Every structure is written in C-alpha cells, then in structure tokens.
C-alpha cells in the first residue's frame, strides 16, 4: 500500500475490510448526507475559521511570539480547535480539491511554525501562560491531546497533498517519543486520550513503526495509576485499570471513546486478540447498557461521564456531541476489525440523530449537550444552553462536527472481502476499487425520507447491503432479503439496477425495564430517525409534560410528516399522593418531528420519550 | 424577654407562636427521637471531636500561630466544622448541663482566641494560606459563612451559660459590620448564605439592633449580581435576582435553604410581608415541585443544586444531608412566622427519612448524599460513596447532623396562641410555660412503630395536636378528629389522659406524573416513614432492578416489619426494542425496611421507588 488512502483509518495491515478513498465516494448534494456535507463546506467550516479568530484561538498563538498583545483566551487546550478545523479543511481539500482555504492554511501553519520551539514543543497555553507546567501535570494539561489533534490534522492534510503541518507535528511527536516513549526513562500518557489513534494514523501515513510502538507503549501503560487523581477519580480519565481489564465504559465519555478508537486502531495494525476482546466488552457496555436512543453518550454533567448501567436520564443527558463523534470513529474501526452490521447501524443512528441535532439548519449554531428532553423551566447552562449557540468557551464540538461531516463519504461504503459493502444509504456515486473490478456504482434514494434504494453498477459485482435491525421486512427486487450472520445481505449486481426496499413504517420503541428514567414511556422511530414532540406544536393550554400517548394507536402519516394522538392530563395534582387516575382531557393530535430538527423554530419544551397510557 | 430561651430561633418580636426551651422538653431515651439524641451525645459528638483532630481542622488553627508544623488540610471553609461541633456541644450542655466537654471547649476556644487577629478577623485558610484573599473573593472564600457558624455556636454556648466564644464572635461580626455594613462604603455578602440567620440569632441573644440591621442589609442587597459569576452561574449562590423576586428554589440547595432560613428570621423579627410572600413562593417551589419523598433536596451532582421543577432522579439524587438540615431550620422558622401543620409535617418527614438515613446505627458513619436508589454497579464517588463513611474531605454534614440531634427537643412542641402545640410525636415530658398555666405534659408513645399517642397533663390545658395529612382517619379518644384549617386538632386536656390514634396502615404512594424519573413506580410509606427494598433481602437469582410490585395488593405486616409481593422479570432484553411483556417469574415476597435503616447490613442495591405492574 504505497499511496495512502485519504479516508481515515486505512490499516496498513492487510485485512478483509478496507475503507474507500473520500474521492471514490461522491454524495449527491440532494441527498441527506450530501446536503449536510455541502452545508459543512459552505457554512460550518467558514464559521469555525471565523470563530477561531474571534474567540482568540489564533491570538493565543500570536501572543507567544509577540505578534499579539491579547490576553490568553479560552480553555487551556484551545489549540486543538485550530487543528480540528484544519483537519476539516484538509478532508474538504482531499474530497473536492478546493483551493479556497490555501491562504488561510498558509497563515495558520506559518504561525504554528513560528510558535513551535526548537525541540518541537508547541502548545500555546503552556508556552504563553504556564511554562513551568510543561509535561509536569499530564493528568490535566492536555498536551498530548492537543498533539493528537495536530497529528490528525497533519495526516489529513498530507493525504490531501500538503505536508508542511506534518513536518511540524512529527517534530512534536518525536519530542514526546524521546520523553515518554519506549526508550525513555519515564512513562507518560495524557489525561485525555486522543494521541493514541493519531499516532496509529501517523504510522499508517509514514510507515514509521516507532509511532505505532509509541501508541502501544502508552496503551500498555494506561491504567497503571500514573495520573494524579483528582476529585473525579481515576475512572474519569480511564486510569483505574489496564485497558485489557476494563470491561465497562466509565468516566468521561469522550475520553473513554477516543481511547477505545485508539485501542482498536492498534488491534487493526497488530491483531492483538486480548485487546479486541476488551473492546468487545467495552462495546457491549457502551451500546447495550449506556447509549441513548439518539446515539448519544454520557449521562452525567458533573464529570461529563458515563453513568451506571441503564442510567440514562433524558433531561440531564449530557450527551456531548464529541462523545458521539468519538463513538462513530470507534465503530468504524470496530467494523474494519471484525465486520458486522451493528457497527454501521450505530454510526447511522448517531449521524441521523445525535450528530445531526447538534447543528441548526444553517450549520452555524451548535449544541454541546444533546438532551432528549427539555423542561419548560430549564435555564441555560454553560455547555447545556436551551438553544444552540454560535460557539462555546470550550469549543471542542463545533470543529469536531465539521471534520466528521467532511469525512462523511468515507463511511458510506467499503471493501468487504470480495464485495463492495454499502453501510449508509444515500444518493452517491461510488468508484469500485480495481481489486473488485473497477467501474462505478450509483445509488439513488431519498432515504431516510423513503426506504427505496436503487443500486446500479457493473454487472457481476458482489455487493453487501446492510440490513438494519428494524427492517426485518426488507426486500430486494421484491423478494424478502435474508441477511447473513453479519447483518449484510449479499447479492450480485446485474445489468439492471437492484432495488432494496426498507420498510419505513413508524414504530413505537420502549426502553429496557432497567432504564428507570423512561419507564412507562415510548419513543417514536421511523427508519433510522428518532422523533420528538415540541411544545411549539401544542396549544398553550396543553403542556407537553402533561400529555399521554396510546402506543396501541399507530402514528398518522400526514404531509410527509407524522402526527400522533395524545390525551392531556387536566389536573396536575400533588407532588406525592395516591396513584393517579387516567387523563381526562380531550384527545388531540400533535406533530412529531425528527429529533435532529428540534429547536429550529422556538425555544421550548421538547420530549423524545412520551408517557404511554 | 430578658432570659434568652436556649432553643434556636426564639423571636424577640412578640408573635402568637414561640418555641420552648430545650430544658423544657425531655425526650424518653426509649423513644425514637430520644434514642437518637442519646446516641448523638454518646457517640456522634465525641466522634466529631475526634475527627476534628484527625482531619486537621484544629491543626489548621494551630499552624497559624506556630503551634503546629502541619500543612493546611481540608476544604478552605473547614473552620466551620469546628464551630458546628461546638454548637452541638453547646446544645448538649444547655439540655443536660453536662460538664464533659468543658476542657475541650477551653482548649478550642482558647485556640481560636489566640488565632484571632487584633481587628477580630479569624479564618485559618485565609490567615494561614491566602492572606491576600481576605475579603477579596467573597464569591468563593466562605469567610462570612464560617463566621455564621462561629456566631451560631457562640450564641448556643452563651445560652448554655458560657460567653467566651461569643466575645470572639462579636469582634469578628463587628469587623464585618464595619467593612460591609449599612454604614460602610462597600456592600459585601457571602457566596454561601449562613451568616444572615446567625446575625438574627445574635440580635435575639444580645438585643443589639445593629446585628439585625446587618442581616437586613445583606439580604436587601443579595441578588444584585455583586458576586463574581463562575461557570456554575449566578443562580448557584442565589445572586441572580433579589430575594423578594426569586420565586423558585434554584442553585446550590444548601445555600438556597440557609438563605431562606435567614430571610424568614428577618420576617420573624420585622414582619416584612413582601419577604414572607417571597418565602411562601420559595416554599411551594422547594416542597411542591423539588422535594424528594424522603425530605431531601438537590437533584444534581454538578453544582449540588436544585433541578428543574419535577426533576427528581432517585439514583442521581444529590440529596445532601445539610440541605435537609437547612430546610428543617427554615420550616421551623416558617411555622413560627405563620403556623400551619405543613411545616412540622415536613420536619417530621425529614427527620424520619433523609436525616435518620444519613447516619448508621452507631452514629459514627455518615452519608453526605442520600439517594433513593443505589444501582448494583455504582462505584463510590467523593461525597456519594456506596456506604457510609466516618468522615469526608468536605465534612459539613456530620457535625451538622450532630447539632440538629442535640436541638431535637426544641422542635417537639411550642406555644401556639393559648395552646401547647405538639408537632412531633415521641415519648417526652414537656414543661408547660407559666403563660399557659405551668405544669407538665407527659407524652407516651412508641410512634412511629405504632400510632397510639397518650397525652396527660394539667386538666384544662388547651393543646393543639398536629394531624398528619396521611392520617385522615385519626381519632382522639375514639372519636374522629377534625383538624382546623392549620392542620392541628384542638382539645382541652382533662384529668384522664387523651389518646390520639394515628392510622399506621402501610400505603402505596405515587409521584406526580411530571416526575419522569419514577413514572410507573410506587413507594411504600407507613406513618411518617418511607420504606425501601434492599438487594440483600432478595435471593441472588433475583435482581432488585428486575422486580415488579402489584400496588393493588396491600403490603403484609410480619414480625413488626413489612413484606411485599414482587414478581421478577426473567428476561433482561435489549436496551431498546418493542414494548416489553409482563414479568414471567414466580412471585415471591420480600422484606421492606424503613429507608433510614438501609445500608446497615450489606453494601448492595436499594430502591425506594418500585416498578408497578
């Protein structure tokens, strides 16, 4: 493999599954995913670039070298927002060849180069505010976390053909390697995992084995209790147990999920079965006991953390956008490691719900926390405002979503054995790799609005189509499909388009009885989309928290949307008392909207889970 | 009123209700409340005294004056734990005349005197660690909070006959008055309310009006946004709105509730109706929309805060012991301000549930957070351990519960108009004030184990007996009682004892439909006690989270305890899926125990709210 693919996470070690180049998958701009990718390029990325200037991230660099008089601004790891934005730009360049960002990149990378110290070190908060903390407080400083994003940006940019940032990043990595690497006299890893997956990407891009060795070295030592424990405990940064022994997703959700992405990257390159076993246990923990219906993670505000098993409050869901992004990255790597439709099904759930909801329609306002319920009297909190805002003091999420949407084409399809596997249904043209015979596959669909997916391509090409677990009645060319054990239906393309039909009947979903927070409630789903109800669609006389639905009644399709019958409770009653009676209000029907579109019309109460009669 | 009563909060301003001296109410040591008070004197107070030495609180004083080489230890407001322990000791001296603590008091008060600066200032963290922060960061330093506890301890000790601490406290108060008082050129109030109620007590004790003026000055300015706002927002320390305009209990629960106690103290002394109106709105918010069934407050760990209306998760209840204590103090003041049985009913709920649960059987191990559910996989967190512990890094709760149990006799009865009002049923002898004719009332009962309460006393004495809202079928001498509008039944004692009979039939309770966290669940209550089920009472094959109760079946009384029939679910099922079926396990009966006794046998899962079929 001499020419690195531009997609993220293309393993060097030969496996039966491999990703496609971003340029090989062209999304229709009229399709859902394609439209998101367009909006990202046209609105979100330019917005991020503007905010980096406004919020002071770039001044933080300039002031280190006397090019600005500004005070240091933002959180201490604010440099990472710059790198994440560069990464988003890099994938856009890789995907479209745009030159729109070249002069911005010249400026910013030139600035980073001037700030970088002779030994390779570059992190503006340490350099410009607390030089005495350099590598001295790994539990909190985020130095290697920032480096990880620098490396990911540099690799993406190098894959798009530009290597100046890579030269800088490699120098910083080499410093970390010399300081904490296998040959150094001290062990050191970061309180915030992220560098591990970046190092494996760096290894993939450069072929330099010592970057893989450094990643393994850090992962082998993590959990040895080296990090100084604060009031949030060692679980907070996954230093409570070795990676191979940690069976539950715990602590800060973004940290755990980035860590898992790094571990799985190592599995992809080295095939370590003990690590893969640990990742399977982690996956079950995170997805079978700790995932929100929307594909969000993190039940607690205090430490932005996973809760206990089945602890999934809708109102206090932390559900940080970055946690879902980390999980998406991890799931893609798990798919590459062992296949199985559950990984892409998770990615689809995340994209169409938690991630899509994190932006407004314009792509320039963001949620950081993505709860499944907003109460009428909730006031805005840092990180959890009532409405999306243009930026955050801790702005990790907006540029993170920008880089994911720029990568989106990379998750649509892959090579899986001798077949072209299609994971996400969206209008697209897919170049078939030469190893599978070349040519182009064209996918036409208005999914998820409708379930019909037409696939045309070289006759004789084996394709593997992911059949969602909710689509038991799916058909191909009118005949029931029989997915294989891995959840994909195999077929061979002919000269006529094949038509996959996924049933898009709305369905009521209930949570496991151990999920106390939504007991007695149902949620509405249709295809991959979770729905919600907003107060704005109810009359002022009816409060959202007082309505009850009858799940024996199917939702009504109306004007391309959904409506459901609800019965309002008229009496509020005491806080505690005798068992309450049935609601006595007059039933009405109310609109249900896809969760990802909420909060675009008015600031008001919202519920995904609705009390059931 | 020339001889100050020893009970807390005896208003100087004449009102129709007034508390009794602690010495006037003697609890039977065999009664529930009396036993708690005995245990407090014999175990909890000596334990706190020992911990103050072990945890470094006293060394923090010694090091300021070179009497110790120790590092500063604990939270910056650790001095307050010393004062709360002194206050507990003071009420014990007032109540029993004990001299056991005299030499300890000599030592500690002598130490405080040596540490106090010439201008009256004394707070060891500022003096010994950050002198530059003196009165400079009122949002966080807790200086006036610490002073508040110093004053409360000093007043209690003075009422018990010892005035040396009061002399010291007054000097510090005078410094605050000169610095931030009505005549000073700057306004200043503390990020943590507490001084306000203490100043009113100081005024009550000394008759010095300027202490009341200082309390009013601080309360009048609170909410003007003077405190520097951190990431938790101005609501965190109730500086978002003036006291008169703040209709909802918000932010840090202990802060809000201590503040309300201080405001109500001011109402008691000045009769300001606008403040009383604000307190009524606050009371409704806290008790009708934000109180746990156990009488606990605070739904959020992040900022130890009230949640939104009806946001009352059982598992993540913060439910800090100190918040319930603050509410108890506030309710007593609300009762004194306007009467009404709801205040004492709240106090009773708090005492028999949240507060009693915060200690173990020995009185030397404590919860800080008192959740209503413990999941099987919950790991111990700072402030929220799985099991009670002997002390905390932030040890506010243990000495706080010690002072409340030492005061307990003061909440049992009061003068209410021309009647002796009895609020808490417990075996006791009560000296009737001369104004009501003198003599002694004797109460005999094994309440809350049984509902029979025998009251004997001077013939012709009017008594007002609180009739709990759950006791609609209560009788006096066999005849149905008819409580008046304030919830008290009035009768006149005769030469034969009167017998109040409160129905103690176990009852199933449901929460308001807006409380999402316990929808579809019921809780078991009997008299004032909330019950719970512990995993230790189920076989290993049945997981507590999998059982369902049938609330149409009454609980069974057995061996003085309660048993309930439960049906286990056999299948766990997926995290999300189609609506689940009824449980298929074989029904069993399981013991239910009073909530306050949980966690005394084994560390394991516990639930107050049980899923109902």
pLDDT tens track for B496-528: 999 999 999 999 999 999 999 999 999 999 999
The interface residues of chain A toward chain B in range 227-256, judged by CB-CB distance below 8 A, are 231-233, 235, 248, 250
Here the tokens at position A195 are: 């560098």
Torsion, CA A502, CA A507, CA A510, CA A512, rounded to 10: -20
pLDDT for the residue B478: 97
Torsion, CA A15, CA A17, CA A22, CA A25, rounded to 10: 150
| Extended strands (E) in A189-312 | none
The model's confidence at residue B3, banded by pLDDT at 50, 70 and 90, is: very low
Rounded-to-integer distance, Cα A552 and Cα B600, Å: 45
Rounded-to-integer distance, Cα B306 and Cα A321, Å: 25
Here the tokens at position B319 are: 């439910």
Share of chain A above pLDDT 70, in %: 99
Residues B244, B274 contacting (CB under 8 angstroms): yes
Here the tokens at position A592 are: 């249900």
pLDDT at B38 over 70: yes
Lowest model confidence (mean pLDDT) among A280-289, A347-356, A515-524, B375-384: B375-384
Mean of pLDDT values over A170-194: 97
Q: Could A514 and B316 be called an inter-chain contact, meaning their C-beta atoms sit closer than 8 Å? A: no
Q: Could A375 and B311 be called an inter-chain contact, meaning their C-beta atoms sit closer than 8 Å? A: yes
Alpha carbon B308 to chain centroid, angstroms: 22
Q: Is A233 helix (H, G, I), strand (E, B) or coil?
A: coil
Q: Which of A373, A519, A544, A609 to mutate to test the interface with B (most CBs of B within 10 A)?
A: A519
Which of A373, A512, A569 comes nearest B572 by C-beta? Answer: A512
Q: Could A574 and B288 be called an inter-chain contact, meaning their C-beta atoms sit closer than 8 Å? A: yes
Q: Chain-wide mean pLDDT for chain A?
A: 96
- What element of type H or E holds B337? helix B321-338
Mean of pLDDT values over B93-98: 94
Q: Could B233 and A508 be called an inter-chain contact, meaning their C-beta atoms sit closer than 8 Å? A: no
Instruction: State the DSSP code for A580.
Output: P
pLDDT for the residue A11: 79
pLDDT for the residue B558: 81
Q: Is A318 helix (H, G, I), strand (E, B) or coil?
A: coil
For strands A419-422 and A462-466, give the pairing: parallel
The interface residues of chain A toward chain B in range 586-605, judged by CB-CB distance below 8 A, are none
pLDDT at A4 over 70: no
pLDDT for the residue A6: 61
pLDDT for the residue A7: 64
Q: Is A557 helix (H, G, I), strand (E, B) or coil?
A: strand
The model's confidence at residue A571, banded by pLDDT at 50, 70 and 90, is: confident
Kindly list the catalytic residues of B: 304, 396
Rounded-to-integer distance, Cα A107 and Cα B447, Å: 78
Instruction: State the DSSP code for B421.
Output: E
Here the tokens at position A234 are: 């060692």
Q: Could A314 and B516 be called an inter-chain contact, meaning their C-beta atoms sit closer than 8 Å? A: yes
Mean of pLDDT values over B546-567: 91
pLDDT digits (tens, 9 = 90+) for A248-294: 999 999 999 999 999 999 999 999 999 999 999 999 999 999 999 99
B293-to-A219, B248, B376, B590 alpha-carbon distances in Å? 46, 19, 22, 21
Q: Could A522 and B235 be called an inter-chain contact, meaning their C-beta atoms sit closer than 8 Å? A: no
The model's confidence at residue A557, banded by pLDDT at 50, 70 and 90, is: confident
Q: Which residues of chain A lie closer than 8 angstroms to B544, CB-CB?
A: none
Comparing C-alpha atoms, which of B500, B495, B548 is closest to residue B521? B548
pLDDT at A234 over 90: yes
pLDDT for the residue B5: 55
Q: Could B519 and A521 be called an inter-chain contact, meaning their C-beta atoms sit closer than 8 Å? A: yes
Q: Which residues of chain A lie closer than 8 angstroms to B521, CB-CB?
A: 516, 519
Rounded-to-integer distance, Cα B215 and Cα B197, Å: 8
Task: Name the residue with tokens 């008091």.
Answer: B105
**HEC sequence for A97-130:** CCCCCHHHHHHHHHHHHHHCCCCCCCCHHHHHCC
Query: Is A581 near chain B, with CB under 8 Å?
Result: no
pLDDT for the residue B516: 97
Mean of pLDDT values over B190-206: 97
Query: Is A386 near chain B, with CB under 8 Å?
Result: no
pLDDT for the residue A578: 81
Comparing C-alpha atoms, which of A343, A483, A493 is closest to residue A411? A343
pLDDT for the residue A9: 64
pTM assigned to the model: 0.96
How distant is the Cα of A162 from the closest Cα of chain B, in angstroms? Answer: 40
pLDDT at A8 over 80: no
**B430 strand-pairing partners:** B25, B441
Q: Chain-wide mean pLDDT for chain B?
A: 96
Q: Could A512 and B231 be called an inter-chain contact, meaning their C-beta atoms sit closer than 8 Å? A: no
Q: Which of A371, A513, A524, A582 to mutate to test the interface with B (most CBs of B within 10 A)?
A: A513
Q: Which residue of B has its CA nearest to A286?
A: B575
pLDDT digits (tens, 9 = 90+) for A107-155: 999 999 999 999 999 999 999 999 999 999 999 999 999 999 999 999 9
Here the tokens at position A61 are: 């660099």
Task: Work out how many CB contacts closer than 8 A connect A with B.
Answer: 164
pLDDT digits (tens, 9 = 90+) for B344-362: 999 999 999 999 999 999 9
pLDDT at B476 over 80: yes
All domains of chain A in start order, with CATH: 31-221+387-410 (no CATH), 231-357 (no CATH), 414-501 (2.60.420), 507-611 (no CATH)
Q: Which residue of A has its CA nearest to B379?
A: A308
The 3-state DSSP composition of chain B as helix, strand, coil percent (nearest 5) reads 40, 15, 45
pLDDT at B304 over 60: yes
For strands A498-501 and A507-511, give the pairing: unpaired
pLDDT at A553 over 70: yes
Residues B296, B323 contacting (CB under 8 angstroms): yes
**HEC sequence for A438-501:** CCEEEEEECCCCCCEEEEECCCCCEEEEECCCCCCCCEECCEECCCCCCCEEEEECCCCCEEEE
Mean of pLDDT values over A505-518: 96
pLDDT for the residue B1: 36
pLDDT for the residue A3: 40
pLDDT at A439 over 50: yes
Residues A8, A329 contacting (CB under 8 angstroms): yes
Q: Is A297 helix (H, G, I), strand (E, B) or coil?
A: strand
pLDDT for the residue B9: 64
Measured distance between the N- and C-terminal CA atoms of chain B, rounded to whole angstroms: 59
Query: Is A313 near chain B, with CB under 8 Å?
Result: yes
**B444 strand-pairing partners:** B454
Task: Judge if the upstream peptide bond of residue B448 is cis by omega within 30 degrees of 0.
Answer: yes
Angle between helical axes of A102-115 and A57-64 (0-180°, round to 10): 40
**B428 strand-pairing partners:** B27, B443
pLDDT at B2 over 70: no
Residues B516, B445 contacting (CB under 8 angstroms): no
Q: Which residues contact A188 (CB under 8 A, 6 or more apart)?
A: A135, A138, A176, A179, A180, A226
Mean of pLDDT values over A229-238: 95
Residues A447, A75 contacting (CB under 8 angstroms): no
Kindly list the catalytic residues of A: 304, 396
Instruction: State the DSSP code for B243.
Output: G
pLDDT for the residue A14: 78
Mean of pLDDT values over A496-501: 98
Alpha carbon A321 to chain centroid, angstroms: 7
Which of A511, A519, A576 comes nearest B293 by C-beta? Answer: A576
**A443 strand-pairing partners:** A428, A455
Here the tokens at position A436 are: 């599978």
Lowest model confidence (mean pLDDT) among A399-408, B254-263, B377-386, B405-414: B377-386
Q: Could B576 and A314 be called an inter-chain contact, meaning their C-beta atoms sit closer than 8 Å? A: no
Rounded-to-integer distance, Cα A443 and Cα A88, Å: 25
Which of A313, A373, A546 comes nearest B313 by C-beta? Answer: A313
pLDDT digits (tens, 9 = 90+) for A21-38: 999 999 999 999 999 999
Q: Which residues of chain A lie closer than 8 angstroms to B74, CB-CB?
A: none
Instruction: State the DSSP code for B320.
Output: B
pLDDT for the residue B382: 84
Rounded-to-integer distance, Cα B461 and Cα B409, Å: 20
């Amino acid at each position: 493999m001499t020419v690195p693919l531009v997609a993220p996470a293309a393993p060097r070690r030969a496996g039966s599954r491999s990703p496609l180049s971003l340029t090989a998958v062209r999304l229709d701009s009229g399709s859902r995913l394609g439209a998101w990718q367009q909006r990202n390029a046209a609105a979100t990325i330019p917005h991020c670039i503007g905010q980096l200037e406004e919020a002071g991230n770039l001044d933080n660099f300039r002031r280190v070298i006397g090019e600005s008089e500004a005070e240091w601004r933002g959180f201490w790891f604010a440099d990472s927002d710059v790198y994440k934005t560069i990464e988003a730009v890099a994938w856009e360049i890789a995907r479209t060849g745009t030159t729109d960002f070249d002069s911005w990149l010249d400026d910013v990378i030139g600035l980073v180069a001037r700030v970088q110290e002779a030994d390779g070190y570059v992190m503006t908060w340490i350099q410009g505010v607390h030089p005495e903390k350099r590598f001295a407080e790994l539990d909190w400083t985020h130095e290697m976390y920032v480096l990880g994003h620098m490396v990911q940006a540099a690799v993406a940019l190098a894959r798009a053909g530009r290597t100046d940032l890579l030269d800088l990043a490699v120098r910083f990595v080499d410093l970390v390697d010399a300081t904490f690497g296998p040959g150094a006299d001290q062990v050191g890893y970061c309180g915030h995992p992220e560098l591990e997956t970046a190092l494996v990407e760096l290894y993939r891009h450069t072929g330099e084995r010592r970057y893989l060795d450094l990643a393994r070295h850090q992962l082998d030592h993590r959990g040895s209790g080296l990090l100084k424990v604060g009031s949030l405990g060692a679980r907070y940064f996954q230093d409570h147990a070795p990676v191979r022994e940690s069976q539950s997703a715990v602590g800060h959700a973004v940290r755990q999920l980035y860590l898992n992405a790094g571990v799985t990257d190592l599995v992809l390159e080295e095939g370590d079965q003990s690590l893969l076993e640990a990742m399977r246990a982690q996956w079950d923990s995170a997805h079978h006991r700790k995932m929100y219906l929307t594909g969000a993670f993190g039940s607690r505000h205090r430490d932005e953390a996973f809760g206990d098993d089945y602890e999934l409050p809708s109102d206090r869901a932390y559900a940080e956008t970055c946690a879902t992004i980390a999980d998406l990255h991890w799931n893609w790597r798990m798919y590459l490691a062992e296949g199985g439709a559950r990984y892409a099904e998770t990615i689809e759930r995340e994209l169409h719900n938690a991630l899509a909801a994190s932006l407004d329609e314009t792509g320039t306002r963001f949620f950081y926390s993505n709860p499944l319920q907003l109460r009428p009297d909730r006031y805005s909190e840092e990180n959890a405002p009532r409405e999306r805002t243009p930026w955050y003091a801790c702005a990790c999420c907006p540029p993170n979503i920008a880089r994911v949407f720029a990568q989106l084409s990379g998750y649509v399809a892959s090579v899986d054995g001798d077949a072209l596997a299609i994971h996400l249904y969206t209008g697209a043209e897919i170049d078939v790799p030469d190893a599978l015979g070349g040519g182009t596959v064209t996918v036409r669909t208005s999914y998820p609005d409708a379930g019909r997916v037409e696939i045309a391509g070289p006759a004789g090409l084996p394709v593997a189509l992911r059949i969602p677990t909710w689509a038991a009645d799916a058909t191909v060319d009118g005949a029931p499909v029989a997915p294989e054990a891995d959840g994909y239906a195999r077929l061979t393309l002919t000269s006529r388009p094949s038509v996959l039909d996924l049933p898009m009947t709305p369905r009521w979903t209930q949570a496991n009885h151990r999920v106390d927070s939504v007991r007695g409630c149902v949620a509405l789903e249709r295809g991959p989309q979770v729905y919600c109800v907003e107060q704005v669609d109810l009359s002022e006389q009816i409060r959202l928290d007082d309505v009850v639905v009858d799940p024996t009644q199917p939702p009504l399709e109306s004007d391309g949307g959904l409506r459901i019958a609800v019965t309002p409770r008229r009496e509020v009653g005491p806080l505690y008392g005798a068992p309450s009676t049935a609601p006595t209000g007059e039933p009405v029907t109310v609109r249900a909207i896809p969760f990802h579109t909420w909060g675009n019309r008015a600031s008001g109460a919202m519920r995904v889970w609705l009390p059931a009669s």
